[in-house]
């Protein structure tokens, strides 16, 4: 039973609470998050770390007029609990429930959809510009994680800070972590700059001793001392007044600080030190696995055992790429802060010189991979989530594909990433990858084919993408078969309908086949394996045998496999084949379990079979077309 949280219906309700009562509320918020996520899973450690910070923000400012813009926004659970969404919180990340990220259609207190790092500073500067043009006085407050400072977009935004920007407080939430440990030189620089909590005080005392009357010489001395000892220098070079660091869990100090800063005529960066996983010892001790959690035991905090012992596509990839690296010293992996998600932890530990985490810098990761691949002596794999590759399209186009460099893109999460929602669905990449000349695009239906594609890709000599989901799958110990680009596989025979299914949707197609067989319709199932190049010879042999065909894919219909095969029919004048495309329509897919979303989109086996039966019978009722002369 909550004492205070149940009474908070809107942020202004905090004004009636004393500091001790708010500290009790902080404990209740943590307990609420832990209890719900023990059932639902979700982003745990990051949210436990920002409870006091979020309370202080809502205590001192007036949301939604004052705008809190969260970077990534996976740390907005306390914010949701304080803005009227506590009753719905047990359905977070569930179908028709609450989004796990900021969601403007969910609440007026959320201002942007967010799910990728590095956007908050740029967005906040733009919002502040509109505010100033309209001569308003509300506050704009971007909340940045320290890992956001490794993003090029954040650094570009820092370069654009007006020095006379008022009512603008950027919060640097420093917990020394993103999903995994932060990496790179910026992290090292910031670590040195921000690790001395007395440096600002020391600089201010020296400045006070020298005083303003020492003129130009005194100014030079103070600036030299400031450059030597103060973390303020780094940020003040960008026009921000640096304050901190302060304890991000001292609620009273946070409130006093915000009250003191809220009317500043200059833009401010407030450095706040927090503990990721605060309030849950096992999460503090294991920040990476408890960043995004699956259901866990509420008492011990230990994760519940998986109901299945099957491996996932990413785990099979991580294991096999390490086996390849053991055999071949020219195998190199590059990833933008996705070592854990892409299952590269063992690789980077064993071969740190050949597994490079470049931080949250997708564009750099792709261009860097092109540089490593230059000369074509290294076998280079760029391991990146499909949804994050969107941030590096120009790098892919100009620095890899145009250079004809044999970088293999291992595109993890190439599917509808159910609970994470629109920002994380990997369902758009085929459309832009297919537009790249000479690009190879493949997708395995199971773990065995994944291993064969990964192994074979080092011989293709061209830019390549291997797409796969984060789903459980099958594999075997059978000898690996070499996969040449443009070789499809017929998985099941059939005389009535041809089903062409991409990757893991082959299992859906085989279920559809069983449902159709019960209705007396025999469907053949074809796995193209390669989206580009297509197996033109096999398609030209098979397609004329059928008057009805269907494509099945977990990708946008705009630019996906279906559209590619429709174009194939037109170019090869296969006029008598009626093609139906099953995929993601032109809309923003929301969040929920994959099964719920598949039903909503009509991509489950039952929905597909029902539509095929209707279309097939409608088609059979139309007389066969006669051949017409081609003009």
Report the catalytic residues. Answer: 276, 362, 391
Strands 42-43 and 67-70: unpaired
Using DSSP, state whether 57 is helix, strand or coil. Answer: helix
φ, ψ dihedrals at 56, nearest 5°: -65, -40
Angle, vertex CA 338, rays to CA 378 and CA 466, nearest 5: 55
In 61-151, where does DSSP find H-type helix? 77-82, 120-133
For residue 618, give the H/E element and its range: helix 605-620
Strands 523-527 and 489-492: antiparallel
Cβ neighbors of 309 (< 8 A, separation 6 or more) are none
For residue 235, give the H/E element and its range: helix 232-236
Longest Cα–Cα distance in the chain: 99
Contact of 552 with 528, CB cutoff 8 Å: no
Give the residue carrying structure tokens 């041809």. Answer: 498
Q: How far apart are the C-alpha atoms of 25 and 20, rounded to whole Å?
A: 9
- For residue 346, what are the CA distances in angstroms to 320, 339, 380? 11, 9, 17
| Structure tokens that stand for 343 in this block | 């299952």
Contact of 263 with 237, CB cutoff 8 Å: no
Q: How far apart are the C-alpha atoms of 480 and 327, rounded to whole Å?
A: 15
Q: Which residues of 292-301 are buried (b: 16+ CB within 10 A; e: fewer)?
A: bbeebeeeeb
Angle, vertex CA 586, rays to CA 581 and CA 587, nearest 5: 130
Strand partners, 273: 174, 247
Query: For residue 134, is the peptide bond before it cis, meaning its omega torsion is within 30 degrees of 0?
Result: no
Write the DSSP assignment of 1-34 as a string of letters: --SSGGG-SSGGGGGG--HHHHHHHHHHHHHHHH
Give the residue carrying structure tokens 């790179």. Answer: 184
Strands 497-501 and 523-527: parallel
CA atoms within 13 A on the CB side of 194: 27
Cβ neighbors of 76 (< 8 A, separation 6 or more) are 47, 70, 101, 102, 110
For residue 453, give the H/E element and its range: helix 447-457
- For residue 119, what are the CA distances in angstroms to 73, 113, 156, 555? 10, 10, 10, 25
Contact of 78 with 50, CB cutoff 8 Å: yes
| Structure tokens that stand for 437 in this block | 């000349």
């Amino acid at each position: 039973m909550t004492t205070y949280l149940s009474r908070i219906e809107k942020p202004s309700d905090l004004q009636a609470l004393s500091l001790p009562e708010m500290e009790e509320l902080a404990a209740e918020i943590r307990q609420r998050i832990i209890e719900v996520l023990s059932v639902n899973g979700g982003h745990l450690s990051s949210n436990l770390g920002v409870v006091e910070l979020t309370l202080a923000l809502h205590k001192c400012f007036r949301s939604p007029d004052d705008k809190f813009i969260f970077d990534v926004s996976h740390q907005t659970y306390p914010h949701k609990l304080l803005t009227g969404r506590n009753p719905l919180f047990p359905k977070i990340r569930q179908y028709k429930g609450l989004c796990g990220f900021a969601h403007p259609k969910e609440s007026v207190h959320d201002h942007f959809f967010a799910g990728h790092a590095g956007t908050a500073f740029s967005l906040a500067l733009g919002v502040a510009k509109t505010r100033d043009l309209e001569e308003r006085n509300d506050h704009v407050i971007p909340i940045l994680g320290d890992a956001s400072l490794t993003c090029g977009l954040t650094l570009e935004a820092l370069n654009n800070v007006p020095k006379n920007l008022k009512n603008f407080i950027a919060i640097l939430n420093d917990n020394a972590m993103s999903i995994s440990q932060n990496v790179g030189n910026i992290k090292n620089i910031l670590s040195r700059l921000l690790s001395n909590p007395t440096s600002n005080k020391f600089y201010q005392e020296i400045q006070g001793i020298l005083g303003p009357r020492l003129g130009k010489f005194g100014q030079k001395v103070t600036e030299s001392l400031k450059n030597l000892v103060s973390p303020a220098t780094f940020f003040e070079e960008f026009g921000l007044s640096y304050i901190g660091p302060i304890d991000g869990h001292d609620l009273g100090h946070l409130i006093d600080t915000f009250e003191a800063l809220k009317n500043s005529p200059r833009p401010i960066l407030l450095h706040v030190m927090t503990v990721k996983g605060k309030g849950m010892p096992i999460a503090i001790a294991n920040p990476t696995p408890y960043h995004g959690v699956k259901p866990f035991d509420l008492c011990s905090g230990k994760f519940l055992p998986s109901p299945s012992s099957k491996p996932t596509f990413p785990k099979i990839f991580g294991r096999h790429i390490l086996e390849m690296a053991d055999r071949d010293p020219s195998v190199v992996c590059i990833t933008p802060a996705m070592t854990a998600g892409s299952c590269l932890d063992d690789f980077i530990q064993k071969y740190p010189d050949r597994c490079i985490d470049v931080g949250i810098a997708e564009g750099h990761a792709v261009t860097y991979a092109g540089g490593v691949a230059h000369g074509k002596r290294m076998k280079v794999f760029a391991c990146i989530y499909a949804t994050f590759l969107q941030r590096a399209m120009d790098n892919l186009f100009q620095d890899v594909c145009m250079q004809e460099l044999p970088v293999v893109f291992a595109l993890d999460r190439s599917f509808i990433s159910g609970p994470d929602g629109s920002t994380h669905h990997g369902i758009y990449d085929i459309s832009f990858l297919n537009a790249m000349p000479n690009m190879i695009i493949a997708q395995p239906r199971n773990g065995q084919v994944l291993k064969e594609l990964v192994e074979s890709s080092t011989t293709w000599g061209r830019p390549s993408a291997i797409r796969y989901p984060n789903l459980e799958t099958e594999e075997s110990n059978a000898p690996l078969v070499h996969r040449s680009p443009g070789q499809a596989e017929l998985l099941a025979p059939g005389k009535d309908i041809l089903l062409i299914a991409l990757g893991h949707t082959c299992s859906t197609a085989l279920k559809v086949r069983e449902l159709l067989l019960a209705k007396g319709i025999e469907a053949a199932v074809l796995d193209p394996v390669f989206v580009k190049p297509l197996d033109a010879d096999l398609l030209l042999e098979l397609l004329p045998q059928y008057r009805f065909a269907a494509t099945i894919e977990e990708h946008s219909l705009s630019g996906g496999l279906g559209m590619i095969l429709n174009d194939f029919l037109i170019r090869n004048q296969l006029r008598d084949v009626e093609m139906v495309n099953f995929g993601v329509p032109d809309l923003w897919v929301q969040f929920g379990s994959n099964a719920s979303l598949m039903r909503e989109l009509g991509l489950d086996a039952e929905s597909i079979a029902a539509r095929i039966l209707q279309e097939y019978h409608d088609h059979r009722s139309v007389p066969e077309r006669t051949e017409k002369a081609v003009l």
